[in-house]
Amino acid sequence: MMIRARLASLALALAAACGPTAHAASGWHLLNMTPGVTEMSRTIYELHMLIFWVCVAIAVLVFGVMIYSLVKFRKSKGAVADVTLVHNTQVELVWTVIPVAILVAMAVPAARTLVAIEDTSKTELTIKVTGFQWGWEYDYLDDGVTYFSHLDHASNAARQLDSTIDPNTVDNYLLNVDHPLVVPVGTKVRLLITGADVIHSWWVPAFGVKKDAIPGFVNEAWFKVDTDKPGLYRGQCAELCGRDHGFMPIVVDVRTKADYETWVKAEAAAQKQAAAPADAAAPAAPSAP
C-alpha cells in the first residue's frame, strides 16, 4: 500500500510538472465500440460491425449515384432534362425488394443473438443490483454480502463547481468507485436489477450489458467474463436519474475464481461480525426500518 501511494503521488507530481495536456491520454483514437471481454459482448460487437459495413456499402452505392448525378447532370455543363423519366416499375421493384433481402439478412443474426441474451438459465452466481440516487447497492443473495458503491472521493472533490482540481490529474476521473462489484471470471453471473427511487440503468460496455433499474420491478441480465480476462471494468448509469446522474459510475472487479472465493468468504465473515455486536448489544431494540 505504501509503495502504491508513493507511486501515485509521484505520478501526480510528474503530471503537475508536465502540465495537464501532456498528461492527458489522447482520446482521438476512440472511434468505435470495443469487442469487450465476454463472448456475448464480442457477438454484439460483430453484429454492430456487420450492420455498420452493410450501411457503408449502401452509402457508397447511393451517395455514389447522387454525387455522379450532381457532377454529370449540371445545367451549367449543358445538361438537358429528360422530362419523360418519371416512373419505372422495374427499377422501383428492384429497389424495394433488394432492401427487404438485406434487412432479412441482418434480422436473422440479430434475432439469434437476442435469443441467446435472453437465456438466463444455468447461472452460477446471483447478485441483486439496486440503483439509487446516486450510487449502486450490491447484494450477494447466496453469500450474505451487501454493500454500497459510490463515486470515489478524488473524483467527487474534482467535479465540484468551485473545485480547482484538474480532472486530468484524477485517476479514472468519474469512472472510479469506493467499493467495486467483485465477480469471478468464467462464471455465468446473473444480475437482478431494480431501482430504489427513480429509474437508473446498469451499463458496463465491456460486458455488453445494459439493463434498466426500475423501482418496483426486477430485471434480469447476465454476463460471463472470459477466464483469461480478470481486471477492472468500468461503466456508468445510463438512464437520466436526477442531479447527479453523471456521477454514479460502475466498476466491476473481475477476479480469478480462487481470489473471488477468498474475497467473498472474508467479506461475509466481516459483515457478520460487524452486524453481530450490534444485535447483541441491543437485543430489545426493534429492528431498524
Could you say which residues in the range 175-204 bind other proteins, by CB under 8 A?
A: 175, 197-199, 201, 203
Determine the interface stretch with Cu ion among 70-78, 214-222, 246-254, 281-289 (rule: CB under 5 A). 246-254
Q: Which of residues 212-231 bind other proteins (CB under 8 A)?
A: 212, 214-217, 219-220
The verdict on 241 binding Cu ion (CB under 5 A) reads yes
User: What is the torsion angle, in degrees rounded to the nearest 10, for the CA atoms of residue 51, residue 52, residue 56 and residue 57?
Assistant: -30
30 binds, options other proteins, Cu ion, none, Cβ within 5 to 8 A by partner type: other proteins
Q: Which of 7, 11, 18, 95 binds other proteins (CB under 8 A)?
A: 95
Q: What DSSP character marks residue 91?
A: H
Instruction: With beta carbons less than 8 A apart as the criterion, state whether 166 and 107 touch.
Output: no
For the stretch 193-224, what's the b/e string if a residue is b when 16 or more beta carbons lie within 10 angstroms of its beta carbon? bbbeebebbbbbbbbbbebbbbeeeebebbbb
Instruction: With beta carbons less than 8 A apart as the criterion, state whether 271 and 144 touch.
Output: yes
Q: Which of residues 39-78 bind other proteins (CB under 8 A)?
A: 43-44, 47-48, 51-52, 55, 58-59, 62-63, 65-66, 69-70, 73-76
Instruction: Mark residues 264-283: x for contact with other proteins by CB under 8 A, - for none.
Output: --------------------
The verdict on 128 binding other proteins (CB under 8 A) reads no
Could you give the CA distance from residue 5 to residue 154 in angstroms, rounded to a whole number? 14
Give the bridge partners for 189, in sequence order: 125, 223
Determine the interface stretch with other proteins among 31-39, 138-146, 250-258, 278-286 (rule: CB under 8 A). 31-39
Query: What type of residue is 251?
Result: V
The verdict on 252 binding Cu ion (CB under 5 A) reads no
48 binds, options Cu ion, other proteins, none, Cβ within 5 to 8 A by partner type: other proteins
Instruction: With beta carbons less than 8 A apart as the criterion, state whether 189 and 123 touch.
Output: yes
Instruction: With beta carbons less than 8 A apart as the criterion, state whether 208 and 223 touch.
Output: yes
* Interacting residues with Cu ion (CB under 5 A): 200, 237, 241, 248
